[in-house]
Amino acid sequence: MKVTIIGTGYVGLVVGACFSDTGNQVSCVDKDPKKIAGLKDGIIPIYEPGLEDLVKRNVAEGRLHFTTSTSEGVKGADVVFMAVGTPPLPDGRSDLSYLKAASEEVGRALTGPCIIVNKSTVPIGSYLTVSEWVKQYSKQEVEVVSNPEFLKEGSALEDFLKPDRVVIGTNKEWAYQKMCELYAPFVRQGNPVILMDPVSAELTKYACNSFLATRISFMNELAQLADRLGADIEKVRQGMATDVRIGKHFLYSGVGYGGSCFPKDVQALVATSKDVGVPLQIVDAAERVNYGQKKYILKKIKAKFPGGLKGKVFAVWGLAFKPNTDDMREAPALIITDELIKEGARVRAFDPVAMEAAKPLLNPKVELCDSAYQAAEDADALVLVTEWNEFRHLDFEKLSTVMNSKIIFDGRNIYDPKTIKSKGFEYTGIGRS
């Protein structure tokens, strides 16, 4: 099949590389000339485990191509995936300007009948809107299908190659069959392909992200209560997670969720629900709790230093919104480091892969260090913000030597408080009093 991906970002590049790996001819289009020039030179613009090898192999096999030209990319396409960004507007609604521009460009470029797939996360009813935008510029037969993407950054390849399920939203049997053909290699082990109408497919994507975000906010709110009551949220989590009705995922308390999806998708669903007069109060609360949670650790830091933070030095470990990615969108580290600096503190930060992506977004006073232990030099406290594996085992001797005071704030509850205390450090987690 000839497949075209419009938008070669975190989703588009993964989707394009995976479809090419199953023998399709794939063109990845992006309007960013630097990104496309880099990809043509074998430079992968994002950090995603396994992606570089997959891209290089398929480029070498002549199945994966990159271009800035929509007309070149779309020529002869059987299926065109829209994977452009849909960032939030100030009122929480999705900014559809990229999707509109891309739809019009695709409309002008179509050379034959085609399936257009909304892979971007889009507001309810966008399958119709995209169809209208495309048809303004094309007389070709087009069917717009909703096929939301559920991959997680950091394990994107595995998620796409072995999906829990594939959701296909269309009212046309032939379009469904074509999509099944495309996904067949990824669902050989019986993972379900769920056919539904496009509106239900669009809502499913928002429902999943909002539900997962709600679980996190539920646990974060409970962690604050645990702090007050003297309970250990980690024990509570274990007690909950072993209940098969609840399950173990997305139950970890911490510094709040970030990333390019949860905050914006939750806000977008809340906005939609209000627009149609059925406001979703639980989802709305999840987002409000999350906003507060990003500042909760700062409260704890301030409580530990009652004389103020002016002149204090903080080592911040981890900047990306989660491990195994360099994505800084809505990363809690941005708020935490900025607030510390505003309080007059010095911040020395390290992240294994997100330093370059973080630099333009961080308060310019944040000192970027070459290693975790370099960041800890002269620190009055260490603040763990992103739970990269390399931070999990601490070299206490080294930390004791380089740090000014032995204080650890564990923003992800990855350390055992007893072990930390036995090494002579003070420990503060989230909900672990």
Ligand X SMILES: NC(=O)c1ccc[n+]([C@@H]2O[C@H](COP(=O)([O-])OP(=O)(O)OC[C@H]3O[C@@H](n4cnc5c(N)ncnc54)[C@H](O)[C@@H]3O)[C@@H](O)[C@H]2O)c1
Q: Which of 98, 262, 391, 409 binds ligand X (CB under 6 A)?
A: 98
Q: Which of 48, 55, 80, 105 binds ligand X (CB under 6 A)?
A: 105
Selection from 424, 425, 239, 288 nearest residue 231 by Cα? 239
| Structure-block tokens of residue 29 | 């289009």
Cβ at position 264, least distance to ligand X in Å: 7
Determine how many CB atoms are found less than 10 A away from the CB of residue 328. 23
Residues between 189 and 248 that touch ligand X (CB under 6 A): none
Between CA 104 and CA 226 the distance in angstroms is 52
367-368, strands of its sheet edge to edge: 367-368, 346-350, 313-317, 381-384, 407-410, 426-428
Residues facing residue 349 across a β-bridge: 316, 368
| Residue nearest ligand X, Cβ-based | 9
Nearer to ligand X among residue 38 and residue 185 (C-beta): 38
Cβ at position 9, least distance to ligand X in Å: 2
**How is 115-151 classified by DSSP, letter by letter?**
EEEE-S---TTHHHHHHHHHHTT--S-EEEEE-----
Q: Does 83 bind ligand X (CB under 6 A)?
A: yes
User: 28, 114, 261, 369: which one is catalytic?
Assistant: 261
Nearer to ligand X among residue 10 and residue 252 (C-beta): 10
Give, as one character, the DSSP assignment of residue 432: -
Give the burial class of 104: count Cβ atoms within 10 A of its Cβ; 0-12 exposed, 13-18 middle, 19 or more buried.
middle
Residue showing tokens 């169809």: 131
Nearer to ligand X among residue 85 and residue 352 (C-beta): 85
114 is annotated as an active-site residue: no
Q: Does 284 bind ligand X (CB under 6 A)?
A: no
> Are the beta carbons of 82 and 120 closer than 8 angstroms?
yes
Query: Interface mask (CB under 6 A) for ligand X, residues 126-155, using x and -?
Result: -----------------------x-x-x--
Q: Which stretch binds ligand X (CB under 6 A): 80-88, 347-355, 361-369, 411-419?
A: 80-88
Query: Interface mask (CB under 6 A) for ligand X, residues 10-49, using x and -?
Result: xxx----------------xxxx--x--------------
Nearer to ligand X among residue 63 and residue 119 (C-beta): 119
For 69-81, b where at least 16 C-beta lie within 10 A, e where not — what string? ebeebbeebbbbb
Query: Interface mask (CB under 6 A) for ligand X, residues 247-266, using x and -?
Result: -------------xx-----
The number of C-alpha atoms within 13 Å of 382 and in the hemisphere containing its C-beta is: 32
Between CA 183 and CA 22 the distance in angstroms is 9
Q: Which of 3, 26, 47, 85 binds ligand X (CB under 6 A)?
A: 85
Nearer to ligand X among residue 121 and residue 337 (C-beta): 121
Binding stretches for ligand X (CB under 6 A) = 6-12, 29-32, 35, 83-86, 98, 101-102, 105, 120-121, 149, 151, 153, 260-261
What residues are annotated to the active site?
261
